[in-house]
């Protein structure tokens, strides 16, 4: 089947062919005709199967007729991340090049002023992340009662990021007559509940088994014998050197780990840059553009890049950390092997990653993943690390420092037990018989008893600060009852 058989108009077909696509993917074959009929669509497909074009193409054809009004967009596309939203906007520009459609991209990290100006002029297509879109709505800059088509992309990722309450609110703000196109790679119970609530008799399309990887991806694991971070970084560099990598993405679970790995690779001469949610949007966009253009060979990323990055030439994916959620493994390795091309995915498995690995196997429904044997690498790496520790200078310091030893392991210059401490404040009249006895040769108590002095008299209480009145030196009796001020009614 070709795109001409899907019912698309000539201008859209022309743009598709100029983009280099001739044969639609299974999700596009099943979803585009149903969307053109005006039906709600529930699409379940693994990442990298062409879901974006499956909703972009019918939306462009529907928007060819009509005109946008100020602050009232005609269509709405919700995406979980800024990168995915930016990619959807690029697809609209690419496939809608022969249509005079206006578009606004509402994502964080960009000034409100520019976005408000576009909304004021009116847009046909509004692509947004849920948080920024609701910010504009609450500021009174956006109206949603003119939405004709609403798209929710990567719904399961919305669930992972905590956007489900926002999604439900947005659904309630849009008209009931809207057409809804709902796409997800997996279908957890919470997502199923939303589709049952807000979709009306949808065309359910599942083109692949849930949570499966593309057949064009070669998957391998590397078992790291310990959880030592230095050994793990050395193993990663061994993989980067051993594989024929044109461009690669290295995924980590935490943003702090992303920064550490990126700096470590840069220190060892690798062309690598970091990308995660805490970095400025301009830097993230620049990194992705340079990576897509081949100016950067490696990007070290958190799961912000696990979905939605359509970069056809990613040859390798490296999972430095086994993902906490097994579905994320499918999305991570889905960055390679796209559009029928071959790709390779590696994952480092340490002793603490055993439970995550088992969950991944259960999710992808596999007995095991091929294990890569690195030969004598780990024994050599262990000797290298040991020699580094032996050459490391031992620092003397208080407590247990990074390079110091335990306090109990360091030698102490202790006094011998029979050492006599210097006696202080000894009365000048004290004779030898009144000296303090030695601990090993105790003297009789009578000989060492000091003359008993009278106990010190208690000092008068000081007046509180700021009170200039002088207090009496002699104690005053406590007053009981009313004292001299007896009320008159008690004398009756």
Set out the domains of the chain in order of their start, with CATH numbers.
3-206 (3.40.50.300), 217-387 (3.40.50.300)
Q: What percentage of the chain exceeds 70 in pLDDT?
A: 77
Comparing 96-110, 261-275, 343-357, 405-419, which segment has the lowest mean pLDDT?
A: 405-419
Strands (E), 185-301: 203-206, 217-223, 248-251, 272-275, 298-301
**pLDDT reading at 399 higher than 70:** no
Model confidence at 179, pLDDT cuts 50, 70, 90, reads very high
pLDDT tier, 447 (very low <50, low <70, confident <90, very high otherwise):
very low
**pLDDT of 133 above 80:** yes
Q: What is the pLDDT of residue 460?
A: 53
Give phi and psi for 228, each to the nearest 5: -65, 125
Answer positive or negative: Cα dihedral of 90, 289, 105, 129.
positive
3 state SS of 371: strand
Q: At 376, is the secondary structure helix, strand, or coil?
A: coil
Contacts of 349 (CB under 8 A, 6+ apart): 221, 222, 223, 224, 322, 357
How do the residues of the chain divide into helix, strand and coil, expressed in percent and rounded to 5? 40, 15, 50
With pLDDT > 90 as the criterion, what percentage of the chain qualifies? 50
pLDDT tens digits, one per residue of 103-127: 999 998 888 999 999 999 999 999 9
Residue 73 pLDDT class (50, 70, 90 cuts): very high
Q: Is the pLDDT of residue 469 over 80?
A: no
Average pLDDT of the residues in 451-471: 53
pLDDT at 327: 78
- Over the stretch 185-202, which tens digit does the pLDDT of each residue have? 778 889 999 999 999 999
Q: What is the predicted pLDDT for the residue at 382?
A: 83
Q: What is the mean pLDDT of residues 443-454?
A: 48
Q: What would the pLDDT profile of 306-344 be if each residue is shown by its tens digit?
A: 665 667 789 999 999 999 888 789 888 988 887 678 899
Please give the structure tokens belonging to residue 94. 């690419």
Residue among 436, 416, 440, 438 nearest 427 (CA): 436
**Mean pLDDT confidence for 19-23:** 89
Q: Whole-prediction pTM value?
A: 0.62
Contact 343, 218 (CB under 8 A): yes
Check residues 336 and 414 and name the one with the higher pLDDT: 336
Distance CA(48)–CA(216), nearest Å, equals 11
Model confidence over 201-228: pLDDT tens digits? 999 998 765 556 778 899 999 999 999 9
* pLDDT confidence of residue 448: 46
pLDDT at 473 over 70: no
Q: What pLDDT was estimated at residue 309? A: 66
The reported pLDDT for the residue numbered 1 is 83
Q: How confident is the model at residue 391 (pLDDT cuts 50, 70, 90)?
A: low
Q: Which of the pair, 424 or 489, is modelled with greater confidence?
A: 489
Query: Average pLDDT, stretch 85-94?
Result: 92
φ/ψ of residue 406, rounded to 5: -65, 155
Task: Give the per-residue pLDDT at 435.
Answer: 45
Q: Tell me the per-residue pLDDT of 237-291, one tens digit each, with 9 for 90 and over.
A: 999 998 889 999 999 999 999 999 999 999 999 999 999 888 888 898 899 889 9
Q: Give the residue with greater pLDDT, 168 vs 485.
A: 168
């Amino acid at each position: 089947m070709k795109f001409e058989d899907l019912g698309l108009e000539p201008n859209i077909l022309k743009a598709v062919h100029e983009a280099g696509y001739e044969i639609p993917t299974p999700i596009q074959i099943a979803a585009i005709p149903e969307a053109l009929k005006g039906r709600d669509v529930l699409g379940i497909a693994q990442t990298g199967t062409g879901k974006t074009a499956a909703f972009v193409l019918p939306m462009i054809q529907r928007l060819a007729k009509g005109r946008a009004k100020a602050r009232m967009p005609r269509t709405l596309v919700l995406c979980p991340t800024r990168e995915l939203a930016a990619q959807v906007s690029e697809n609209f520009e690419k496939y809608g090049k022969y249509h005079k459609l206006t578009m606004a991209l509402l994502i964080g990290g960009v000034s409100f002023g520019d976005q408000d100006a576009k909304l004021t002029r009116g847009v046909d297509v509004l692509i947004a992340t849920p948080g920024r879109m609701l910010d504009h709505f609450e500021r009174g800059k956006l109206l949603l009662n003119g939405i004709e088509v609403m798209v929710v992309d990567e719904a399961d990722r919305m669930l992972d990021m905590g956007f489900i309450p926002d999604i439900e609110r947005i659904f309630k703000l849009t008209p009931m007559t809207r057409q809804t196109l709902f796409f997800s790679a997996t279908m957890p119970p919470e997502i199923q509940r939303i589709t049952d609530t807000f979709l009306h008799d949808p065309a359910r399309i599942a083109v692949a088994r849930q949570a499966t990887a593309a057949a064009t991806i070669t998957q391998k694991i590397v078992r790291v014998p310990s959880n030592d971070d230095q050994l793990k970084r050395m193993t990663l560099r061994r993989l980067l050197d051993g594989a024929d990598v044109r461009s690669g993405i290295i995924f980590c679970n935490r943003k702090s780990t992303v920064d550490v790995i990126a700096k470590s690779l840069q220190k060892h001469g690798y062309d690598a840059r970091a990308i995660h949610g805490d970095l400025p949007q301009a830097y993230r966009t620049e990194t992705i553009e340079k990576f897509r253009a081949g100016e950067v060979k490696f990007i070290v990323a958190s799961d912000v890049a696990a979905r939605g990055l359509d970069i056809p030439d990613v040859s390798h994916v490296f999972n430095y950390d086994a993902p906490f959620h097994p579905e994320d493994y499918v999305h991570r390795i889905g960055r390679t092997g796209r559009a029928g091309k071959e790709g390779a995915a590696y994952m480092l498995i340490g002793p603490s990653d055993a439970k995550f690995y088992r969950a991944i196997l259960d999710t992808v429904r596999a007995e095991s993943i091929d294990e890569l044997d690195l030969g004598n690498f780990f024994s050599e790496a262990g000797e290298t690390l040991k020699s580094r520790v032996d050459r490391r200078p031992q620092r003397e310091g208080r407590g247990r420092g990074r390079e110091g030893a335990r306090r109990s392991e360091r030698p102490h210059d202790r006094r011998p037990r029979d050492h006599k401490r210097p006696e202080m404040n000894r009365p000048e009249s004290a004779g030898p018989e009144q000296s303090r006895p030695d601990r090993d040769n105790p003297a009789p108590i009578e000989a060492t008893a000091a003359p008993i002095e009278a106990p010190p008299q208690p000092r008068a209480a000081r007046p509180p600060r700021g009170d200039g009145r002088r207090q009496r030196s002699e104690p005053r009796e406590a007053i009981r009852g009313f004292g001299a001020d007896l009320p008159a009614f008690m004398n009756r």
